[in-house]
């Protein structure tokens, strides 16, 4: 990795996100038309395997990269293997990062060597835009549409479809 802030650095700055990891398939995985035989780089994918199991049934290899919820060895392997991924998913991660710049730094890491599309979802909670601490960590409470202008500052062609921000890179 280069000298830019890594996802691991970002997580440390916001006091961790381990408690925000949930043991279910994020809704975004069910919204994508997956290509059989492809690889997905799951940035901030958490500690559970439900999404990986779901994608395996679709013929997709899911590579979870999550420094807070996975071992260094696992993440080092995934970081390298992630260059083969055609897609990157960042599902329900940006909503736990309070700083716009930190969110953008994370999203930039989603662009891998062979990435064609980045898919982003965010848990909106109450949608007020007034961030707050929860029992498990930080929550921005922002609507998905409110993230779009900041993402378009680095990926101008980003758009919303099917309750996801989609970036064709």
| Overall domain count for the chain | 1
Whether residue 30 has pLDDT greater than 70: yes
| Alpha carbons 51 and 42: distance in angstroms, whole number | 9
In terms of Cβ atoms closer than 10 Å to its own Cβ (0-12, 13-18, 19+), residue 66 is buried
CATH number for the domain including 134? 3.40.50.150
Asked, for residue 2, whether it belongs to a domain, the answer is no
Asked, for residue 23, whether it belongs to a domain, the answer is no
Asked, for residue 81, whether it belongs to a domain, the answer is yes
Asked, for residue 27, whether it belongs to a domain, the answer is no
pTM of the shown model: 0.86
Q: Are 121 and 145 in contact (CB under 8 A)?
A: no
Asked, for residue 25, whether it belongs to a domain, the answer is no
- Using only C-alpha atoms, what is the Rg of the chain? 15
Judged by phi (left if over 0) then psi (alpha if -120 to 50, else beta), residue 65 lies in beta
Q: Which domain holds residue 100?
A: 7-16+34-168
Over residues 79-130, the pLDDT tens digits come to 999 999 999 999 999 999 999 999 999 999 999 999 999 999 999 999 999 9
């Amino acid at each position: 990795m280069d000298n830019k802030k890594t996802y691991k650095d970002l997580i440390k700055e916001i006091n961790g996100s381990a408690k925000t990891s949930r043991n279910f398939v994020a809704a975004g995985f069910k919204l994508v038309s997956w290509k059989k035989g492809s690889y997905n780089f799951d940035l901030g994918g958490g500690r559970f395997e439900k999404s990986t199991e779901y994608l395996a049934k679709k013929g997709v290899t899911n590579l979870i990269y999550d420094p807070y919820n996975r071992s260094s060895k696992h993440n080092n392997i995934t970081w390298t293997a992630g260059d083969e991924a055609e897609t990157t998913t960042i599902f329900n991660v940006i909503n736990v990062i309070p700083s716009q710049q930190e969110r953008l730094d994370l999203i930039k890491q989603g662009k891998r060597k062979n990435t064609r599309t980045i898919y982003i979802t965010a848990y909106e909670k109450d949608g007020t835009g007034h961030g707050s601490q929860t029992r498990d960590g930080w929550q921005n409470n922002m609507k998905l549409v409110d993230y779009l202008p900041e993402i378009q500052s680095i990926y101008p062609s980003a758009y919303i479809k099917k309750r996801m921000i989609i970036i064709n890179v």
